[in-house]
Structure 1
Amino acid sequence: MYRLIKALSIVCILLFANFARAQVCTGTFGQPLINQTFGQGNNTDNWYGPLAQYAPGASTSTTFKGPPGSIPTNLTANQSGLVKTPATPGNPYSIYWQPHADHTGDSNGLMLLIDGIATKTVFFEQKMDDLCPNTLLRLSIWVLNTNSAAANAQPPNMILKVIDPNGNLLGNASTGNVTADGMWHQYTLDFSNANNSTVTLQLVNDTPTNSGNDFALDDITVRACGPGIAPFFNLNNTALNMCEGNTNSFTVNANISPEYANPVYQWQENKGTGWVDINGTTTKQATINFINQPAGTYQYRLITAINGNIDKVFCRAVSDPITVTVNPLPVARAENFGPFCNGSTIQLNASGGTTYSWTGPNGFTSAAQSPTIINATKAMGGEYTVQVTANGCTSPASTQVIVSDPLAITTNIQTAAICEGKSIQLAASGGTQYLWQPATGLSDPESPNPVASPIETTVYSVTVTKDGCSGTAQITVSVNKNAMADAGADQKIVNGQKITLNGKVSSDVTYLWTPADYLDDPTKLNPVASPPHDITYTLYATSNLGCSSSSDEVNITVYPKVVIPNTFSPNGDNVNDTWNIPAAASFPNPVVKIMNRYGNLVYQSTGPFKPWDGKMNGKDLPPAVYYYSVYLNEDFQTYTGWLMLVR
């Protein structure tokens, strides 16, 4: 009897499994009830763990490797771990592993990497609770054969399996051999949970070898079959665009196929912080109050279920969202680069949008962002307005254009003359801004009335500006030089000589030498002087233009005439008893030397000159011819010659 019951049970289970596989979803499989992505990694590590942290609800019967870090570098049979890529750093067999990102292509997305064994082992399991009875569900997995084609290894093969709490089979499907083509492959299993509110998802290894049975899992999902829901706005639009400050209420509706028996509805809204029910919108067609909504993105979706199941997450169908975008009003700006002068070009500019529409005086219109108006007239002045549009929203801005008449510039003088070192007041009028050039010699080049103190004749140009207009005027300031007298360098002469004074003066002056003593003509610039003694002459210069006078002095040093006697008789008769050079007394440090015919020094006078008495060391020298050298100063050559001593 026991054997019969057991046999009948097996037959019933098989018949139910075949029935589950035979069911067809006449609507659509909705949003995931379970979405196992295995989490997110970082930019540095490749290995991660524990599994519960990165994949809540998942478990594995393989030996799990972790925690985060650079080891282990590879797996052995019946081991698993969370990685960003199967080609782990340091893997000694890296050429046989796929260097691949997760199923979505995210370089930091994680996957579950498994090195399978040759026995049928449940290497992944996840439990689902709170299911509605008799729901058709779809289990979906993505699998990557992590062996490269170069490895020529046994491909992985696995079974998708679902069991009830008693271990009874609700459905299964085989993946077959997963090709080592460097691509992720998706496999699905459709099953019914019958009257069970809890089921367990299992993935079973079905490869008869340990060699090359390496694979990765990612993005395991379970979706419930429900009606297909196509929500829309108003006249079948799936998206609405509005402008801030001009938002309107709208209608939402949906096409649903097939409908639940005795269905109920709930519209939800997501303003960026998650989905919430909209109070009072429990019909398929509903009106959404959308007045005065700020800029942002708003999503809407419809939930439908059999009456009594609307609050059960796993017992209802949820549509894809439809979106309302409220665009901010553009920050419109209008400006001009005026004021402008008659005849110039008016330049307008707008910003803040993608399209522009200008209007202005005299019927002006333009669609340019920065329009120009040539040959400006006074009639073109006034307010210009632009409508700035971005994302279908428009804001106005305006700018006031001023067109001014040409300037009437006046100056206090056109030409002026000043003496060197003096200054003069310049003045201009007719504007609000002034700029004088060159700035040299001006107290303030930006003043309308600067003080000018040039050192030479200068033409000053002033640019006058007012209300976008500008003009120039000129003032010439001539600089008359002050009288300049230069009497020349000091000179030295010998009594009886004449010398020409080297006077110099600036132009347009009257000059005179004083004193007039010993000058051939004191009114000449270069008179001839023949003074018998030292004298100072002064050259006076007076400006004929009324500028400053000047004077300068020159010193003339007059030395006495040098006479050197060639004979003397030191015989005691008081007549010509010494050899004397009268002019030597005028020099402070003459040097006088006397040698005999053999070149021996017999007398020397250094300092104030002392006449020679014909003696050497107090003894009379014999009559003879002697030779002398006389040095007076640097202005005279050394005198040399002979003298006769007689007794």
Structure 2
Amino acid sequence: MYRLIKALSFVCILLFADFAEAQVCTGNFGQPLINQTFGQGNNTDNWYGPLAQYAPGATTFTTFMGPPGPNPSALAPNQSGLVKTPATPGNPYPIYWQPHADHTGDTNGLMLLIDGIATKTVFFEQKMDDLCPNTLLRLSIWVLNTNSATANAQPPNMILKVIDPNGNLLGNASTGNVTADGRWHQYTLDFSNGNNSTVTLQLINDTQTNSGNDFALDDITVQACGPAITPYFNLNNSSLNMCEGNTNSFTVNANILPEYTNPVYQWQENKGNGWVDITGLTTKQATINFSNQPAGTYQYRLITAINGNIDKVNCRAVSDPITVTVNPLPVARAENFGPFCNGSTIQLFASGGTSYLWSGPNGYNSTAQNPTIINATKAMEGEYTVQVTANGCTSPASIQVLVHDPIIITTNIQTATICEGKSIQLAASGGTEYLWQPATGLSDPQSPDPVASPTETTTYTVRVTNNGCSETAQITVHVNKNAKADAGVDQKIVNGQKITLNGKVSDDVTYLWTPSDYLDDPTKLNPVASPPHDITYTLQATSNLGCSSSSDEVNITVYPKVVIPNTFSPNGDNVNDTWNIPATASFHNPVVKIMNRYGNLVYQSTGPYKPWDGKMNGKDLPPAVYYYSVYLNEDFQTYTGWLMLVR
């Protein structure tokens, strides 16, 4: 018997499904006549109720668990409740009650959470009133399987059923198994309400178990099939963009398929406060006066119905809106940071838009937002205007550009020549501030007329400033060097030797050595000198450019010729009785040493030389060959050799 009943039920479902599918909408389904969203929650509560407060017209035949909700925080079979998410705090079965927002993604939007049972019963009804008779309607519901896929629980399955006030069936359809994929699923049923203005939606549980069968409902809507209305503006546009200050009107029209029999029309406008009929606009094509509207968004739609039904909300077709956007005029700004200096770069700035068009003196134009104009001249002075555009709307802004007169610098000289050690007055005019560079040799580098005393030829650059603008000029001061003489370092020679003087002078001078004694040519810079005695030579240099002369001296020390005898006879005959070296008298601290053939020191004289008398410690030394070393000073090498003592 159970199998027979189940088979008959299946056949009935197929028949009703075929009935529903036979209802074909030749236009389209318009705005929802009924929209059951189950209301809005808040940021604190978890459970909400009663149901009638949040879902007018809805009735649940389950046990409704209003606030504060079930304890523990989960539903038992055949219980329901309004929640923001199936995963309510404290839920002991998280694998069965997954977190999810309502169908629209609103974290505070409510849904009806249901724990289904195995018995095929009506668990939910939604009454729908004020429908237009003899209308093809579409019922839509959204269903969420609240279990996770890992729970492997029996999915919910339900039948959508619509009845008239007498309980007669108007249409039904099965959802089939609602997949546990964490997504909302939409199910629809198309039906005709016949002569009924009131119908009732019934949701029937069709899952044969209590295990699993957990789901949520949201956004139950009913839409009427009516003509497909495609409104448009003139030129077949679906939207218009205008600017503040617009003085034009526009035409609205619509394509309608199929038309109602004996149709009437009404255009509506929404300026942000809801839809309002536009007085007098009751034709399919109409002209809307739209001059000087403030910035904002304006929507227009067409309503059509059979004559006599235009005021019945559920008996008319409503188009989607078409939009007019009035864009504000951009707040155009133009500026610069002048005045500008002659030859500098003029920088203009603009803001307030997305594109820019500049114009100015001498036919100037630019599309840059912040254009630059190089090499500013007085001719570039004047008013510059920029057209600033944003969202197709344009506003102008203007700015004055000032260019200072060029600075004209006057200097007292451009070039001058001075002798080394002398000074010269520099002077510049044409501004209010001055800066000379380099500062080397200047009395005051910030003075308009400093005194310059350079030691080398120098080009001075003066920066002259007036009204923040600067120009430069140059003065070159050539420095002629004073005559410089360098006679070289003092030198020493032995009598009879020659030496070349190492004279040096600066450029462009005349020179002469004095005295000319013992010089081969006193007019040569490096003459050869052969003095027989000590002498001082002076190199005199005279500038050929009229600058100072100079002189320098060099001392030549002439040592006597060193002669060392190799024999003497200290026998008391007053002839060659001592060993004497006459040249030692010209040296301050000569050191003379005499050794015997064994290397023993037998005589030494340190300081003024004392001739050797052939004795050692007052006793005569025997005739023999002796060996000497003679040190005169650092200019001479030590003399060594032998001598013969004869008796």
Q: Give distance in 1, aligned partners of 2:345 and 2:182.
A: 66
| AA partner of residue 148 (structure 2) | S
- Residue 403 of structure 1 aligns to a residue whose secondary structure is coil
Determine if contact 2:115/2:214 at 8 Å carries over to the other structure: yes
Written as runs of structure 1 = structure 2, the 5 A alignment for 1:129-278 is: 129-278=129-278
CA deviation vs aligned residue, 1:418-441 (integer Å, no higher than 9, x gap): xxxxxxxxxx9967x999xxxxxx
Structure 2 counterpart of 1:279: 279
How far did 1:20 drift? Answer: 5.5
More moved, 121-130 vs 184-193:
121-130
The aligned residue for residue 304 of structure 1 is 304
- Alpha-carbon distance in 2 for matches of 1:266, 1:26: 22
Alpha-carbon distance in 1 for matches of 2:293, 2:230:
25
Match of 1:403 in 2: 403
Deviation at 1:59, TM superposition (A): 2.3
- Secondary structure, aligned partner of 2:95: helix
Partner secondary structure for residue 252 of structure 1 = strand
Distance 2:223 2:68 in 1: 32
Distance 2:199 2:357 in 1: 64
Return the letter of the residue paired with 2:226: G
CA displacement, residues 398-433 of structure 1 (integer Å, 9 cap, x when unaligned)? 1000001246899xxxxxxxxxxxxxxxxx9967x9
Query: Does the CA-based 8 Å contact 2:409-2:464 persist in structure 1?
Result: no
The equivalent residue for 1:48 is: 48
Equivalent residue, structure 2, for 1:30: 30
Judged with a 3 Å threshold, the aligned counterparts in structure 2 of structure 1 residues 14 and 196 are, in CA distance, closer, same or farther, namely farther
CA distance in 2, matches of 1:463, 1:50: 89
Match of 1:593 in 2: none
Where do 5+ consecutive residues of structure 2 fail to align?
Answer: 1-11, 411-428, 436-461, 474-647
1:100-499 matches, cutoff 5 A: 100-406=100-406, 466=467, 469=469
Superposition deviation, residue 471 in structure 1: 8.0
CA distance in 2 between counterparts of 1:407 and 1:260 reads 85
Cα distance in 2 for partners of 1:30, 1:310 equals 15
User: Cα gap change, 1:406/1:137 in structure 2, threshold over 3 Å: closer, same or farther?
Assistant: same
Contact map agreement 2:463 2:470 (CA 8 A) in 1:
no
Alpha carbons of structure 1 residues 336 and 23: separation in structure 2 relative to 1, 3 Å: same
Q: Deviations over 1:71-119 (max 9, x none)?
A: 6521111111122221222211102332222222233322111001122
Does the Cα contact within 8 Å between 2:269 and 2:299 map onto a contact in 1? yes
Which residue type is aligned with residue 209 of structure 2?
Answer: T
Range 97-106 or range 388-397, more displaced: 97-106
Write the deviation string for residues 205-257 of structure 1: whole angstroms up to 9, x where unpaired: 12222111110111111000001001111021100001110242111111111
Distance (whole Å) between structure 1 residues aligned to residue 130 and residue 15 of structure 2: 25
Q: Distance in 2 between matches of 1:325 and 1:381?
A: 40
Shift of 1:184: 1.5
Question: Are the equivalent residues in 2 in contact too, given 1:65–1:72 (CA < 8 A)?
Answer: no
Counterpart amino acid of residue 325 in structure 2: T
Q: 1:345 to 1:72 in 2, by over 3 A?
A: farther
What's the % identity of the aligned pairs?
Answer: 86
Residues 156 and 336 (structure 1), Cα distance of their counterparts in 2 relative to 1, 3 Å cut = same
> Residues 345 and 63 of structure 1: is their aligned pair in 2 closer, same or farther, counting only changes over 3 Å?
same
**In structure 2, distance between residues paired with 1:72 and 1:399:** 74
Summarize the Cα distance change of 1:247–1:102 in structure 2 as closer, same or farther, 3 Å threshold: farther
Q: Distance in 2 between matches of 1:376 and 1:157?
A: 82
Distance 1:381 1:190, change over 3 A: same
Match of 2:64 in 1: 64
Deviations 1:505-531 (CA, angstroms, capped at 9, x unpaired)? xxxxxxxxxxxxxxxxxxxxxxxxxxx
Q: Which amino acid aligns with 2:124?
A: F
Indicate the SS of the match to 2:394.
strand
1:198: how far off? 1.1
> How many Å separate the matches in 1 of 2:45 and 2:472?
73
Q: Compare 292-301 and 171-180 and name the one that shifted more.
A: 171-180
Give the distance between the partners of 2:230 and 2:93, measured in 1 at CA.
50
Q: What are the Cα deviations for residues 107-153 of structure 1, in whole angstroms up to 9, with x where unaligned? A: 33221110011223322222122211101100001111111112121
Q: Which moved more, 1:381-390 or 1:37-46?
A: 37-46
Deviations 1:519-556 (A, max 9, x none): xxxxxxxxxxxxxxxxxxxxxxxxxxxxxxxxxxxxxx
Aligned equivalents of 1:71, 1:235: Cα separation in 2? 64
Q: Which amino acid aligns with 1:39?
A: G
**Mapped partners of 2:107, 2:72: distance in 1:** 20
| Separation of aligned partners in 2, 1:133 and 1:16 | 20
Paired residue total? 418
Secondary structure at the counterpart of residue 404 of structure 1: coil
For the 8 Å contact 2:249–2:291, the answer to whether it is kept is: yes
Task: Work out the CA distance in 2 between the residues paired with 1:223 and 1:99.
Answer: 30
Quote how far apart the aligned CAs of 1:69 are. Answer: 7.6
Between the aligned partners of 1:73 and 1:471, the Cα distance in structure 2 is 86
Amino acid at match of 1:368: A
For residue 143 of structure 1, give the secondary structure of its aligned residue in structure 2: strand
Counterpart for residue 487 of structure 1: none
**Is the 1:138–1:223 Cα contact (8 Å) retained in structure 2?**
yes
1:70 deviation in Å? 9.7
Distance 2:247 2:97 in 1: 56
Write the deviation string for residues 168-195 of structure 1: whole angstroms up to 9, x where unpaired. Answer: 2211111111121222111111111111
Residue type of the alignment partner of 2:375: N
Match of 1:150, SS state, is helix
Conserved? CA contact 1:138–1:188, under 8 Å: yes
Q: What residue in structure 2 maps to residue 90 of structure 1?
A: 90
SS in 2 for 1:341: coil
Distance of 2:259 and 2:185 partners within structure 1: 33
Aligned CA distance change for structure 1 residues 175 and 353 (closer, same or farther; 3 Å): same
1:45–1:69 contact (8 Å) kept in structure 2: no
Report if the CA contact (8 A) 1:96-1:149 is conserved. Answer: no
Q: Cα deviations across residues 367-406 of structure 1 (Å, max 9, x unaligned)?
A: 1111111111100110000000000000111100000124
Question: Residue 166 and residue 287 in structure 1: after superposition, are their counterparts in 2 closer, same or farther (change >3 A)?
Answer: same
- Between the aligned partners of 1:221 and 1:135, the Cα distance in structure 2 is 15
State whether residues 253 and 286 of structure 2, in contact with CA within 8 Å, keep that contact through their aligned partners in structure 1.
yes
Q: Secondary structure at the match of 1:53?
A: helix
Cα–Cα, structure 1 residues 434 and 147, in superposed 2: closer, same or farther, change >3 Å?
A: farther
CA gap 1:378/1:185 in 2 versus in 1, 3 angstroms: same
What amino acid is aligned across from residue 395 of structure 1 in structure 2?
S
Equivalences for 1:13-24 in 2 at 5 Å? 19=19, 21-24=21-24
Query: What is the distance in 1 between the residues matched to 2:41 and 2:68?
Result: 10
SS at match of 2:347: strand
> What secondary structure sits across from 1:235 in the alignment?
helix
2-structure distance, mates of 1:357, 1:314: 54
**Runs of at least 4 residues off by over 4 Å:** 12-21, 68-72, 406-410, 428-431, 461-465, 470-473
Identify the range of structure 1 (15-24 vs 126-135) with the bigger mean alpha-carbon deviation. 15-24
| Structure 2 residue matching 1:362: 3-state secondary structure | helix
Q: For residue 68 of structure 1, report the CA deviation from its aligned partner.
A: 6.0
Q: Flag structure 1 segments of 5+ consecutive residues without an equivalent.
A: 1-11, 411-427, 436-460, 474-647
